[in-house]
Amino acid sequence: MPSDQRRIQPRKQPRQVRAELTRQRILTAAAHVFGEHGYAAGTTNRIAERAGISIGSLYQYFPNKDAILAELLVRHLDDGAAIAERVQREELPGPIEEIFRLFVRGAIESHLDEPRLLRVLLEQAPKSTDVLEKVELLKKNLVAYMRQLLDDHPEVRVADTETAARLIVTTAELVIHQLVADHEPVDTGKLENELVAMLTRYVRG
């Protein structure tokens, strides 16, 4: 007998084209609404209204409100993981500045559309065990990779590479989230340059 996980799985797997289309509409609308109103004020009825469907349809594809936000978050995390892997797969004999630049640029790019949503995702996302683990895992991987990079690269001159790696990953993540979604957004080119400069000079000592 299958375990009781009905509350997380969607009610129906879409089998017709219009169904998949409805699903997409819901997610797109949810991204907008959550980004605009935050999680609490982003009501399911508002999402359905924006998507141009009825509230009933929404609950045919998502068992509850959390599941919608969870799926948006998972998508973003998968994007981030893909970017990180891509960077890690490339050859990395060049100066550490170039490696930092690849990371920072990738991170900035993945935050350009829907910047407000992403802050909501990470700041107000319900602390449901499931997705939070995924967040932690991705971050731990990033920190671990960063630490190895610091350990191996000849240019690097910091003593505590563990703390340094954590600081670097945290800084890049937070600053990008904040400044991209800011009221008076910075020029992303400048942001990239300055952030890369800060990180590079830091590890060079």
Partner DNA sequence: CACAATTATGAGCAAATACTCAGGTCTTGC
Partner DNA sequence: GCAAGACCTGAGTATTTGCTCATAATTGTG
What are the residues binding DNA (CB under 7 A)?
A: 12-19, 21-22, 40-45, 53-57, 59-60, 63-66
- Check residue 108 for interaction with a copy of itself (CB under 8 A): no
Listed as own residue / partner, the contacts of 63-66 with beta carbons closer than 8 Å and 24 or more positions apart are: 63/6, 63/7, 63/8, 63/9, 63/10, 63/11, 64/7, 66/126, 66/128
Q: Where in 73-92 is the site for a copy of itself (CB under 8 A)?
A: none
List 54, 64, 148, 170, residue binding a copy of itself (CB under 8 A): 170
Token couple for 54: 């009825």
Distance separating alpha carbons of residues 108 and 49, to the nearest angstrom: 31
- Cβ neighbour number for residue 200 with a 10 Å cutoff: 18
Least separation in angstroms between residue 3's CB and DNA is 18
Residue 99, interface with a copy of itself (CB under 8 A)?
A: no
Q: Which two tokens stand for residue 150?
A: 């610091």
Instruction: Read off the amino acid at residue 135.
Output: V
Binding mask 13-52 for a copy of itself (x = CB under 8 A): -------------------------xxx------------
In angstroms, what is the minimal distance from the CB of 85 to a copy of itself?
Answer: 24
Binding mask 126-155 for a copy of itself (x = CB under 8 A): ----------x-------------------
| Kind plus residue range of the DSSP H or E element containing 194 | helix 188-204
Give pairs for 44-49: CB < 8 Å, separation 24+. 44/68
Binding residues (CB under 8 A) for a copy of itself: these are 38-40, 119, 123-124, 136, 158, 160, 163-164, 166-167, 170-171, 174-175, 178-179, 183, 186, 190-191, 194-195, 197-199, 201-202, 204-205
